[in-house]
Amino acid sequence: MTGSAARSGGPPPLPVYLTSAVIARTADEGARVALVMLAAQRAHSPTLGGALVAALMIPHVAAAPVVGVLADSVRRRRLFHGSAVVLYGAALVALAFLVGTADDVVVLALAVAAGCVAPLLAGGLTGLLADLLSKERLTRAFSADAVSYNLAGICGPAVAATLGTAVGAGAALAALGAGAMTGGLLLFSLRLRPRAPGQAGPPGPAGPGRLRAADLARGAVALVRNSLLRAVTWGSSVAQLGVGALPVVSVLLAAEYHAPWATGGLMTAFAAGALAGSLSYAYRPVGRHHPERVVLWGLPATGVPLAMVPWVGDAVVAAALFAVAGFCTGPLFSALLASRERYAPPGTRTQVFTLGAGLKSTFAAAGAGAAGALSGLGAVPLMLGTAVCQVVAGALALVLLSGRHAGSAGRGAGPAESSPEPSSSGFDTRAREPRRR
């Protein structure tokens, strides 16, 4: 089976996919804001709002191995993914009616259930691209997918805040849920061929479609043993410690600059820069045959403008530096997605995507928590800390990439390729063409 699963006579797969991904991910991003607003407006309990967001976010990591294995094992992928996104949207609609009216235990349990599906809105959807498009189109497709994440990160909170203020947080959450359901329905129109019995699920005596305990660890093992996946995954995750701290640092910087607009303006500049970077990379991708190199150099490149922020005394200049840093993350994220697809072992692609996304979310949350706990140090030390995280992440990725290979370095690697020597530049020079499906 080739990388392209599209058949003639149907709608173009990429526009349909991107439309679904944008509205589903916008709902996911906006739900966090809408839930806090709803708990404050209806239940008069900010504590409940925080608990709801935590209940929605924590399963992103805990459920990622399970949903990844299921997604890699099912034959009817569009039915599985489409139904999952529809269910996520339905849960948000239900929460819009139940928060403040039903028992807190009920709404928290519903939020946890929705969070268990959420990994399929991020890495799960991205894992479908290789089954929709030929491998020649994947580099630009991953860049376009990175744009969908950026748009969702910008539009989700904005839509939730605007609707929540204008018509109420309950209506805002219901609208976001309805949007997610629409995105799920769009997935049903994608031309994904059913997997043949030998293609569905990880190989093993349990057979396709059956969930074995050992299968839950396959994706995690790949992220540890595969030198290329290990480098880009753990390097980008460590970088999220700094990125996760940026909202807290932005608040402190806005106070120092006496510029209230900078509280949200700095992060908006960062998000806008990331969007521009993703679009630029989609237009002219570089390093398509070695995406790990883009990740490796993108990490310290992000840290350089962030390290300059403490030495400027103007909020506008700081916003410009935030935008430059964001611009560097655009190609980095696109290349990260391409690396996961290119180097994921057979049968673990969706697991690798969902686990990688979950790890990034976990590190970002840890960074935000650490920045909040250390906020008494002031903006300058924390800002420098976020920049250092990017440089350390780049160094870590280089070390992990240069280390000897402990397992299969890429899909389709043969026995003779199991322990490649790194080149003098620190990169594996073996040809890494993905195995044709």
pLDDT digits (tens, 9 = 90+) for 58-93: 777 778 778 888 887 887 888 899 999 999 999 999
pLDDT, average across residues 260-288: 82
The fraction of the chain above a pLDDT of 70, given in percent, is 83
The answer to whether 226 touches 408, Cβ cutoff 8 Å, is yes
User: What's the pLDDT at 58?
Assistant: 77
Tens of pLDDT along 211-245? 555 566 677 787 888 888 889 999 999 999 998 88
Question: At 297, is the secondary structure helix, strand, or coil?
Answer: helix
The pLDDT value recorded for residue 354 is 83
The pLDDT assigned to 206 comes to 42
Smallest CA-to-CA distance from 432 within 411, 418, 415 is with 411
State the pLDDT at residue 403. Answer: 62
For 214, counting Cβ atoms within 10 Å of its Cβ (0-12 exposed, 13-18 middle, 19+ buried), the class is: exposed
- Tokens 């410009």: give the residue: 320
The Cα–Cα gap between 38 and 334 comes to 34
Question: From CA 346, how far away is CA 199, in angstroms rounded?
Answer: 9
**What pLDDT is recorded for position 289?**
75
Arithmetic mean of pLDDT over the chain: 81
Q: What is the mean pLDDT of residues 118-133?
A: 86
> How much is the average pLDDT of 98-108?
93
- Give pTM, 2 decimals: 0.74
Q: Could you give the count of Cα atoms lying within 13 Å of 293 in the half-sphere of its Cβ?
A: 12
Q: Which residue has the tokens 């310290």?
A: 300
Structure tokens at 401: 């990439």
Does position 198 have pLDDT exceeding 70, yes or no? no
Whether residue 408 is predicted with pLDDT greater than 80 in this model: the reply is: no
- 190-199, 291-300, 338-347, range with the lowest pLDDT: 190-199
pLDDT of 296 above 60: yes
Grade residue 98 by pLDDT with cuts at 50, 70 and 90.
Answer: very high
Q: Which long-range contacts (CB under 8 A, 24 or more apart) does 376-379 make?
A: 378/252, 378/256, 379/249, 379/252, 379/253, 379/255, 379/256, 379/310
- Each residue's pLDDT tens digit, 25-53: 999 988 888 888 898 889 888 788 878 88
The pLDDT, as a whole number, for residue 282 is 80
Whether the per-residue pLDDT at 416 is higher than 50: the answer is no
pLDDT of residue 413: 38
Residue with the two structure tokens 């995750």: 237
User: In the prediction, which pLDDT does 414 show?
Assistant: 34
Q: 283 or 383: whose pLDDT is higher?
A: 383
Q: Which residue is listed with tokens 């660890």? A: 217
Beta strands in 374-429 (DSSP E): none
> Which one is predicted more confidently, 172 or 285?
172
Whole-angstrom CA distances from 205 to 199, 201, 202, 400 are: 14, 11, 10, 33
Q: Which residue type sits at 426?
A: G
